[in-house]
């Protein structure tokens, strides 16, 4: 069966629709990837700060016998857990978007982007019971 689409039409579709779509997808994925990496780091740092605050409040409530300190300590502990979950979610989203971006780049025969290409220091983050190294 012969192909009824002319080469001119194929070239027009590629240049006017497919290439701009790839460009926009790459830009969007790079922005989202960086956003989720930064938000994951921010939420993780805030979570650790709340753990410290919780510890101080817990010890203080035992010494000073203020019920409000116990309540605030428990509340800040819950906030810490929530922030840690947001951090974990952000790291997973960043990883997922990085895979999508690499799939696009592979289709275009471009070298893929390393998942941890921003910096050389490593930290550890808990991601669904697995310890995953995260570069900052």
Confidence of residue 40 (pLDDT cuts 50, 70, 90): very high
Provide DSSP, 34-77.
Answer: HHHHHHHHHHHHHHHHHHHHHHHHHHHHHHH--HHHHHHHHHHH
Q: Mean pLDDT over residues 120-134, rounded?
A: 37
Please state, as a whole number, how many other Cβ atoms lie within 10 Å of the Cβ of residue 96.
Answer: 14
Cα–chain-centroid distance for residue 93?
5
pLDDT in tens, 7-37: 899 899 989 998 999 999 999 999 999 999 9
Please name the residues in contact with 125: beta carbons below 8 A apart, sequence gap of 6 or more.
40, 44, 87, 88, 91, 131, 132, 134
């Amino acid at each position: 069966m012969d192909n009824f689409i002319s080469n001119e039409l194929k070239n027009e579709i590629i240049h006017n629709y497919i290439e701009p779509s790839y460009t926009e997808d790459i830009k969007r994925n790079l922005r989202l990837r960086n956003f989720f990496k930064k938000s994951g780091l921010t939420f993780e740092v805030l979570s650790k700060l709340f753990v410290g605050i919780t510890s101080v409040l817990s010890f203080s409530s035992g010494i000073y016998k203020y019920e409000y300190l116990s309540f605030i300590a428990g509340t800040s502990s819950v906030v810490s857990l929530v922030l840690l979950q947001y951090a974990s979610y952000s790291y997973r989203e960043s990883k997922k978007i990085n895979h999508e971006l690499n799939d696009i780049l592979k289709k275009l025969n471009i070298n893929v982007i390393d998942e941890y290409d921003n910096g050389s220091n490593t930290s550890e983050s808990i991601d669904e019971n697995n310890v995953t190294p995260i570069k900052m």
